[in-house]
Chain A
Amino acid sequence: MTDVQDHLLSILVRDEPRVLTRITALFGRRGYNIKSLSVGSTEHPGVSRMTIVVSGDRGVVEQAIRQLEKLHDVVRIIDHSLEKYVDRELVLVKVAITPESRVEVRQIAEDFRSRIVDVGRHALTFEVTGDEGKITAFIEQMRPFGILETMRTGRIALTRGSNADIPAHVYHEGETQALQPTLEVQPREERARHVPNLF
C-alpha cells in the first residue's frame, strides 16, 4: 500500500458542457489526488483529450480508471504506464539576473535548448519543453540564481508508434459532431484495451 506513484492517464472525452467538472468531481469525491491536469481539443471535432497525472498506489489508480469508465462522457482511457509513450510539459520560468550572472544563465538555458521568451532588466523568462526529468533538472540549475516565478502547463502524452489512440472507425463520417452521443462508441472490451484485464 505504500508504493505511491505518479500515473499518467489520457482520458478522451466527449466535448460537452460540464465534462471537466464531471471528471474532476469524480476525482475529488473519491479522494484521488490530481497532480496535474491539461485539456485540449483533438483532431476530431467533439472530442477532447485530457492528460491527468494522478498519484496513488496501483489499486487507487485502477479504481479511478474503472470509476471514470462508467462516465457516459468518457470515450476512452489510456493508462500510459502500460505502454511506451512520449510526454511533454511546457514551463515558463522567470529567473532573476544580475550583470554578473547574465551570461551563465543564458548558457545554461542554451544547454537545455530553452528559449528566452521575455527579457526584463532584472529577469529573463525561459520557455522549456520536455519530459519531467528535463524540466526538473532545468529548474534545479536555475534555482541558485533566484527563480521569481514558474508556470507549468501540466504533462501531455501520446502513445508511441503509429496507432492512433482514437481509431478512425469511432467517428461518424461527414458529421460535424464527431461523436454522436447515440453512437455506441466502442465496446467496453475494446475501450479497455490499455487497462489490465483482470476479468
Chain B
Amino acid sequence: MADNGKQHAPHRGDMTGAKALWATLANHGISTVFGYPGGAIMPVYDALTFYPEVRHVLTRHEQGAAHAAEGWAKATGEIGVCMATSGPGATNLVTGLADAMLDSVPLLAITGNVASHLMGTDAFQEADITGITLPITKHNYVVRDVEDLPRIVAEAIRIARSGRPGPVLVDIPKDIQLAAFHGEIPSPHARPEAPAPSPESIERALDLLRSAKKPVIMAGGGSLDASAEITALAHAWDIPVITTLMGLGAFPSSDPLWLGMPGMHGSVAANRAISEADVLLGIGLRFDDRVTGRVSGFAPNAAIIHVELDAAEIGKIIRTHVPVRGDARQAALLLAEGAQPSPRPEWTAQIQEWKGRTVTPETYGAGYAVKAVVDRLRPDDILSSDVGQHQMLAAQLARFEKPRRWINSGGLGTMGFGLPAAIGAGMAEPRVRSVVIAGDGGFQMTAQELATLKMYDVRNVKICIINNSFLGMVRQWQELFHEKRYSEVWLGDSNPDFIKLADAYDVPGYRATTAEELPAAIDAWLSDPKSALLEVVVPHEHGVFPMVPAGAALYEMIETEPVKSPDLSAQMQDAAEEASEA
C-alpha cells in the first residue's frame, strides 16, 4: 500500500518528532531551509517529503547553508533557517553561527545528533555541538523529550528574533526525531514590543543636542529598521549622519547630510567629523574597534548619547554620557519630535569641505573596477560582498538609498561569506538582482556553491570576482607593517580559470582585464538572463585608502595611498605600538 509520499501534515497522534519539526516550521511561516543531510538527521529529511510547503535548498557545504540563511535574513529582516547532520555537519555550521552572532542576524540552526542513549559516548559522528556553540549562539537547546520539540523550536525562533537578534541552535537526537509526538503544534509567539526609551533619557539627550555646536549622528546595524525615523531626525535637527559598515543604507547616501562610513577604512568626512564633534548620537551600534580606532582617541571632544536595545553594549567600550536604552525607531521618533533646529553654518561648511576630499579611483585597479560595478546598480539591487579589500572598496564606493540592500560579514569578517549569502538573498528576493563582489581568495572558500545556483536555476545572482592574484588585504598589511615581506599571500600561479570554473557549473562567465574592456563586460554580465560571473583582472598591488592603522586614532588616518616611502611602515609601526601600550 504505497502512498504517493506527498500528503499534507498528518494529524495529531500519527506524527513523529521529525514531522512535528516541519509542522512547527511551516506554522511559523518558514518557507525555505538551507541544509545538508546525513545519518543523524535522516528522519527529518524523510519527513520533509510530507511538507511540500517548505522548500529545502541543498547547498554544497553546511557553511554555505548557514551563510545563505544569513543572506536571507539580512535581506528580509526575517529569520533564516539552516540545517545539518550531527558531528561534521554540525561543526561546519559553526563559522556561520559565529558570524550571525557578531552581526546580530536572526538565525535558527537545526542539527541532528546521535540517539540519546549514545550521546556522551563518543559515538560515530557525535559532536557536542551545544557545548561547541555555547559562546557563539544567543541560546541553544538539546531536545530530550519529543513532547518538548515543537515548543522548543517555537521558543528558539522567538529568541532569535526578539530584542537584539541572533542565532539559536536546536540539537535533536535521532531517536527524538523518530519518536511519536502527541501534543499540539504551537503557533508563532507574538513578537514582543521593543522597550521604549525612558522619557528622562530622551529629555537628557534633547538637552545635549540643543546645546550642540558640532553634532553628528552615527547609525549602526541596529538602526536599519529605523531608517525613516533617523532620516526625519537628521533633517529636523540638520545633523550630518555617518553610517557604519553594518548600518549602510540606514540613511540615504544621496542625502547631502550623509558623510559615509567611519573607522579603519572610513571616509575622511566621517572620521574627521567624529574627531571634531561635540555631541555624538550613536544609534543601534556597539562601537566595534574597527569603527573606533584607538578608543582613547575616539570622539575626544564629544559627549556621547548612545541609543541601544542591548543594555550590555551601553558603556562597554565607550564612556556614555547619556544612555538611552530602547528601540531605535521610538528613540529616533522622540528625538525628532523634540527638535529645535539651530543653524550651524560653520559646522556645515566644514563638513562640506571634508566631503569634498572623497577620492574616486582614477587609475585602473580594484577600486576602479568596484566603482564601475556599483555605479551600475539599481537602488533595489542587493549588494553583497566577501571579505577583504574589495569589501572595503564596495563599502566606500557603493551608494545605498534604502536599508537591507547591503549584505556583508562585518563582525567576524568571514571569507567565503559572499557567494552563499548572495544566493540566500537572491532566493529571498527573486525579483531583484543579487550582486556579490568577491576576491579571488575568498571566492574559493565557498566556490562550490555555484552548484546551488545551477541546481535551483537561480537567475538573479551576479558574481563579480576582483582578481588581484593576492590575498589583497593581508598583502596590504604586509606592505605597510611588515616591510613588504609577502608571506603566503600569492595566489596568482594557482588560481583556477574562473570562467572555466563557472562554465563547469553552467554559469556564464565574462572577463575584463583593462579599463577599456570593463564597461562592455559589466553590461553583458548584468544583462545576461541567467546568474553570471564576471572576473575583473586587476593590477596586483593596489591598496585601500583612507586607512586608519590598527591601534591609531581616527584623526591619525592616512587619507590617500601614500607614495611608498621606506619609513612609512616604521612610522605606522610606532603608532601601533604606542597605541597598544596606551
Contact residues of A with B, CB < 8 Å? 17-18, 21-22, 25-26, 29, 59, 62-63, 66-67, 69-72, 181-182, 184, 188, 198-199
Contacts and interface: CB of A to CB of B under 8 A. Distances in A.
Contact of B134 (A25, A62, A67, A181): A25
Interface stretch (B80-88, B195-203, B468-476): B195-203
Contact of A72 (B139, B151, B192): B139
Given A18-B130, A182-B151, A199-B201, A29 B323 contact: no
Given A17-B142, A22-B134, A182-B155, A63 B195 contact: no
Contacts of B312: 63, 66-67, 69-70
A198 B311 CA distance: 10
B204 to A, nearest CB: 10
A198 B204 CA distance: 12
Nearest to B312: A66
Interface string B108-152: 000000000000000000000011001100110010000000011
Pick the most buried of A22, A70, A71, A184: most chain B CB atoms within 10 A of its CB.
A70
A67 B131 CA distance: 19
B290 interface: no
B315 A72 contact: no
Contacts of B315: 59, 62-63, 198
A17 B116 CA distance: 14
Nearest to B200: A199
Interface of B: 130-131, 134-135, 138-139, 142, 151-152, 155, 159, 192, 195, 197-198, 201, 310-312, 314-316, 323-326
Contact of B311 (A21, A29, A72, A199): A199
A198 B142 CA distance: 36
B310 A70 contact: yes
A119 B446 CA distance: 69
Pick the most buried of B151, B155, B311, B323: most chain A CB atoms within 10 A of its CB.
B311
Contact of B324 (A26, A29, A67, A199): A199
B323 A199 contact: yes
Contact of A29 (B135, B142, B198): B135
Nearest to A26: B135
Contacts of A71: 139
Contacts of A63: 312, 315-316
B159 A72 contact: yes
Nearest to B306: A199
A142 B325 CA distance: 52
A77 to B, nearest CB: 12
A188 B135 contact: no
A181 to B, nearest CB: 6
Contacts of A25: 134-135
A29 B139 CA distance: 16
B138 A72 contact: yes
Contacts of A182: 151, 155
Contacts of B139: 71-72
A188 B312 CA distance: 13
A17 B145 CA distance: 13
B314 A21 contact: no
A89 B326 CA distance: 40
Nearest to A180: B151
Given A21-B131, A72-B159, A198 B138 contact: no
Nearest to A68: B312
Contacts, number: 49
B308 to A, nearest CB: 9
Contacts of B192: 184
Pick the most buried of A21, A72, A181: most chain B CB atoms within 10 A of its CB.
A72
Given A181-B155, A182-B151, A188-B195, A199 B134 contact: no
Contacts of B152: 181
Pick the most buried of B131, B135, B323, B326: most chain A CB atoms within 10 A of its CB.
B135
A198 B155 contact: no
B134 A66 contact: no
Nearest to B140: A18
A181 B143 CA distance: 13
B311 A69 contact: yes
A182 B156 CA distance: 10
A69 B134 CA distance: 16
Contacts of B314: 66, 198-199
Contacts of B130: 18
Nearest to B151: A182
A21 B134 contact: yes
Closest 3 CB pairs of A and B: A199-B325, A66-B312, A72-B139
Contacts of B324: 199
Contacts of B198: 199
Given A21-B131, A21-B134, A199 B151 contact: no
Contacts of B325: 198-199
B474 to A, nearest CB: 27
Nearest to A73: B139
Contact of A199 (B131, B138, B142, B197): B197
B311 A66 contact: yes
Contacts of B151: 181-182
Pick the most buried of A66, A184, A199: most chain B CB atoms within 10 A of its CB.
A199
10 contacts: A18-B134, A63-B316, A66-B314, A69-B312, A72-B159, A181-B152, A181-B155, A199-B311, A199-B314, A199-B325
Given A70-B310, A181-B155, 5 more contacts: A18-B134, A66-B314, A69-B311, A198-B314, A198-B315
Contacts of A184: 192
A198 B323 CA distance: 7
A94 to B, nearest CB: 36
A18 to B, nearest CB: 7
A116 B249 CA distance: 71
Contacts of B311: 66, 69, 199
A34 to B, nearest CB: 16
A15 B130 CA distance: 16
A21 B142 CA distance: 15
Nearest to B166: A70
A66 to B, nearest CB: 4
A18 B131 contact: yes
Nearest to B156: A72
B338 to A, nearest CB: 17
